[in-house]
Amino acid sequence: MTALFKTAETMEAAAPGASAGVGPADETPALAVAGVSHAFGAVQALSDVSLTVPPGAMVVLLGLNGAGKSTLFSLITRLYDNVSGSIRILGYDVRRTPSAALQRLGVVFQSRTLDTDLTLTQNLIYHANLHGFAGRQARTCAVAALAAVGLTDKANVKVRTLSGGQSRRVEIARALMHGPRLLLLDEATVGLDIGSRESVLKIVRGLAKAEGLGVLWATHLIDEVTPGDLVVLLHRGRMIFSGTVPGMLECAGAGTLADAFRALTGSAAVTSKETAP
């Protein structure tokens, strides 16, 4: 485990309700969603959705815009309250023990939220302060987080000078500052060129593998899925498929992911080439 995630070990030991049976060292899922539904008035946004993100796994939450991906993320992060089913992060229920659950969660939302007038290090130290880290500890975490996303050489430049892809990498670094064991990314490559998309995806997959992070990556782009990923296909609020890429192809009786997507949803898949700036 790298220096970046020593913070997570400390939190695991100190968090209220922590126990030897719940943590990154065992097989407790990084995320377990079971039977979750959600409605906005008469509009049913999610219907009985269940999924699991194992430690060290990249799970792609795939679905067209409006499928319910952002609603699910809002439930996981407690922006909305889940009134049906259960959501557990490293074994902690987000309704019953929200503090312990959310301490283990890092999030990159679709909207950009960095302060463009601050340097990368200043942005990260500010975020560390919000998590109760200060002084040398905050700076050490910032240095480690920037190294994890390959931006050490940009530590003292202002965010406004960065490319879109570099800004996204800073947001990933910020999400890692408190040593989470689950990372959520909601349409993290929106607005990026194809090269930047590939760079961000490579970093996230590398973190999952090297650090044992559970990753839930929400996207509407079929070519952001690789053969080694786990896939949860969401369509009109319903989970159509959950499993491996080969399993999805077999389920749909298709030879390509694009064909499988069309067969299972009745809609055409979207690729990054169609949405590139």
**pLDDT at residue 24 greater than cutoff 60:** no
pLDDT tens digits for 55-68?
A: 999 999 999 999 99
Rounded Cα distance, 186 and 217, in Å: 6
Rounded Cα distance, 234 and 216, in Å: 13
Average pLDDT over residues 65-86: 94
Average pLDDT over residues 119-148: 90
Rounded Cα distance, 218 and 17, in Å: 30
Question: What rounded mean pLDDT belongs to the chain?
Answer: 89
Name the pLDDT band for 277 (thresholds 50, 70, 90): low
| Domain ranges across the chain | 3-275
Average pLDDT over residues 77-99: 95
**pLDDT at residue 76 greater than cutoff 50:** yes
Rounded Cα distance, 270 and 267, in Å: 9
Determine contact, residues 236/247, Cβ cutoff 8 Å.
Answer: no
Determine contact, residues 43/19, Cβ cutoff 8 Å.
Answer: no
- Closest to 60 in 3D by CA, of 198, 219, 199, 169: 219
Determine contact, residues 215/221, Cβ cutoff 8 Å.
Answer: no
pLDDT tens digits for 162-211?
A: 999 999 999 999 999 888 999 999 999 988 888 999 999 999 999 999 99
Determine contact, residues 178/125, Cβ cutoff 8 Å.
Answer: no
Which of 3-7, 148-152, 171-175 is predicted least confidently? 3-7
Q: Would the pTM count as exceeding 0.85?
A: yes
Assigned CATH for 3-275: 3.40.50.300
Is 141 exposed, middle or buried (CB count within 10 Å of its CB: 0-12, 13-18, 19+)? Answer: buried
Name the pLDDT band for 20 (thresholds 50, 70, 90): very low
Alpha helices of the chain — where are they, by DSSP H? 6-14, 69-76, 98-103, 120-130, 135-148, 164-176, 194-211, 245-252, 257-265, 272-275
DSSP-assigned letter for residue 78: T
